[in-house]
Structure 1
Amino acid sequence: MSIPAIDFSAFRNGTEQERRVLADRITEEFKKHGATRLVSHGITGESIKKTYEQSDKFFKLPEAEKAAIANVRDANPQRGFSYVGSEATSKVNKRDQKGEFQICEDDDVDQELVDAKEHFDYTRKGDEYPTPWPSEASIPGFRDWMEGAFLPDCMKLARDILTAIEMGLNVPAGTFTSCMESRVDELRIQHYPPLAVEELKTGKVKRCHPHTDFGFITLLFQDATGGLEIENRASGGWLPVTPTGDPTEVGVYIGDTLVHKTNGHLKAAVHHVVAPVSLKHREEGMMPERFTIALFAKADRHADIGPMPQFITSETPQRFPNLTALELHNKRVGQLYDARPKATVVSA
């Protein structure tokens, strides 16, 4: 079994019937896996390659320069540079009694597991949570390209995909995209440094531990290194998402917000990053560095992301509370950085 790579060009250029057929196919993949892969979607291979080149330049900056634009590890939206091990994705999801991954609702995920990655997160100019950028002298053209060119292209693609999901679910046009007018999406460039296979054997370190993302959907571009896996819902275990080699390939992953809105009709894609398939059974050696680019497509911060009435029935009563996108985001980011409000102990 594998996650198919679907040609998305017909959604922008095809007839209404071709668009609907494509929307149905994509939505069925989301129902099966929580994920799919798209090619020929409008963002060129050249554009993606340039973004990787800019990413490489960023992560080669001196550590002191990256630290000067560090993300503050609190529950607010992430902005700036996060060092290796800053996030703890092991703390955001846990298996329930049925063995299914759920969002953590308490503080009982106390294992000290390490994510071996570093990243830089940013959003559009003018957002209420501003991005600290490296200086123009350090990386000429970096901000102009990342903020002014690549981010808008990814935001447009995310909205096209959500429009396709609206069609595939048979809900009114704009059901999801009308909740995205303030354009609070975040883009992340991510670097996984070389890592000794022996470190994985300790059980404490993964490149990224199993988790779900927080927004409507995530667009994920990955280089040729490999190691990304998604939960295999059909038979258990994990399903490698090996790059196809198409320069435009992008993975699309359902996030928690869309799960809430559809009352669990769509389930989020649980994913992690481990050793590539070629190194799975090695006892020693080094995993090569890995680069990814992710667009987290978000709902407006004060939008109600509680379940929509059409997904609430006597058979499927309301599973999730009515809360805002920012409340969900702050909860999940607070888990990442152990910045959640702690219960107050009242002495007798």
Structure 2
Amino acid sequence: MSEAIDFSLLKGSPEESKAVSAALLATLKTRGVAKLKNHGLPAELIAEMFDYTKKFFALPLEDKMIAKHPPESTPNRGYSYVGQESVGSISGYEKGVSEGKQVRDIKETIDIGSANDDLVDNIWVPEEKLPGFRKFMEGFYESAFKVELEILAALAMALGISQDEMKMLHGKGENEFRLLHYPAIPASELTDGTATRIADHTDFGTITMLFQDSVGGLQVEDQQNLGTFRGVESADKAEIILNIGDSLQRLTNDTFRAAVHRVTYPPTVKVGSEEIIPERFSIAYFAKPNRTASLFPFKKFITPATPCQYEDITAWDYNNLRITKLFSGKA
């Protein structure tokens, strides 16, 4: 995996800004994922985010279930216990595969949106169960949203489209972020292919900003060697692991391809052994277009040589189409 891109140079000279944007575009197109450092979210803030994440998942199950995700797919808020989701059911969606593999994900999550969302409310554990959790998460959301807009502006610059248009398309901040915990398990549990930490999938939104610990196991499909997955490790928890989602694939008419990724054995654990795979924590911030925004490709990317590949659909309808499969286990 290539070195992290110094995102602070986006605010440097015009030449530095263009160079950073171009490097970001090139890395995402070839590797499917890019790493960012000096992106504006302080290391101390991210460290505190991991501390709260660990505290939440250390709560007794009955406490976490107070904030349980509804049994249906929408709204996508609250706590999902191990096995509630079936990410394998959405594998290959944008490649035209009608039904994904039925693979059990060994993970638990909690999904959180904006405190100012006028359509969907967050679902919280009571304050006395985890003091400060709600306030911190609401603040982190707002901080991540600001960085999201800067990343989108950089991508727009490299793609030769309007930065203002890209920002307006995402200006309502109708996003969500997810705390993830992968419990420690024997490596043998993954041997027969019926279970994994999280199955191959693409994300629904425009971009995903991921923070991960040092355990390892994240793999992303190489865009120049489809079918080949490469490990993505972080130098520290403060690095942003950035990947492209389905919405940007649609908006750019396949100029960008959504990055297929998964979490499996870390490189330190022998496949099929009786070794224990350590528990793993990560945080994913999913940046999405405004719900009412159209995902019809930008005009620039529709030409006689590259005819339009997608029908018109709103971001909200597309999101719900995908997430219904996630919770139903049916494609």
TM-score range, shorter chain: over 0.9
Give me the whole-angstrom Cα distance separating, in 1, the residues matched to 2:220 and 2:120: 31
Structure 1 residue 193: Cα displacement:
0.4
* SS of equivalent to 1:175: helix
TM normalised by structure 2 equals 0.95
Aligned-pair identity in percent equals 34
Q: For residues 256-277 of structure 1, what are the alpha-carbon distances to aligned partners after superposition, in whole Å with 9 as ceiling and x for unaligned?
A: 0000100000011100000001
Residue 163 (structure 1) shift? 0.3
Let me know the Cα RMSD of the aligned residues. Answer: 1.6
Deviations 1:92-128 (A, max 9, x none): 1228xxxxx7255x4x33x431011101111111311
What is the CA–CA distance in structure 2 between the aligned matches of 1:126 and 1:248, rounded to whole Å? 26
Amino acid at match of 1:178: M
CA contact (8 A) 1:220 1:295 kept: yes
Is the CA contact 2:253–2:301 (under 8 Å) kept in the aligned structure 1?
yes
* Amino acid aligned to 2:264: V
The 1-side partners of 2:176 and 2:270 are apart by 32
- Give, as a single letter, the amino acid of the residue that structure 2 aligns with 1:170: G
Residue deviations 1:2-22 (CA, integer Å, cap 9, x gap): 24311111113x122211111
Aligned counterparts of 2:270 and 2:6: Cα–Cα separation in 1: 30
CA distance in 1, matches of 2:264, 2:168: 37
Which one of the candidate residues 256, 272, 278 is aligned to 2:246?
256
| Partner residue, 1:50 | 48
Distance (whole Å) between structure 2 residues aligned to residue 296 and residue 103 of structure 1? 23
Kept after mapping to 1: 8 A contact 2:85/2:329: no
Equivalent residue number for residue 72 of structure 2: 74
CA contact under 8 A between 1:74 and 1:339: conserved in structure 2? no
Q: Distance in 1 between matches of 2:31 and 2:164?
A: 24
* Residue in 1 that maps onto 2:95: 102
Would you say 1:285 and 2:275 are equivalent positions? yes
What's the CA shift for 1:338? Answer: 1.4
**1:237 aligned onto 2:228:** yes
> 1 CA distance for matches of 2:215 and 2:5?
21
Task: State the alpha-carbon separation in 2 of the partners of residues 210 and 339 from structure 1.
Answer: 14
String of CA shifts for 1:134-153, please: whole Å, max 9, x gaps: 111111111111112x1111
Q: Map of 1:213-232 to 2, 5 A cutoff?
A: 213-232=203-222
The 8 Å contact of residues 75 and 339 in structure 1, kept in 2 or not, is answered as: no
Range moving further from structure 2, 216-225 or 178-187? 178-187
Aligned length: 329
Helix, strand or coil at the partner of 2:230: strand
Q: Distance in 1 between matches of 2:164 and 2:328?
A: 35
- Superposed structure 1 runs of 4+ greater than 4 Å apart: none
Q: Which residue number in structure 2 is paired with residue 25 of structure 1?
A: 23
Which of 124, 134, 144 is matched with 1:133 structurally?
124
For the residue of structure 1 that corresponds to 2:164, the secondary structure is coil
**SS of residue matched to 1:153:** helix
Matches within 5 A, 1:309-348: 309-338=299-328
Aligned partner of 1:63: which letter?
L
1:233 CA drift (Å): 2.9
Structure 1 gaps, min length 5: 96-100, 343-348
| Residue 11 (str. 1) matches residue 10 (str. 2) | yes
Alpha-carbon distance, 1:339 to partner: 7.2
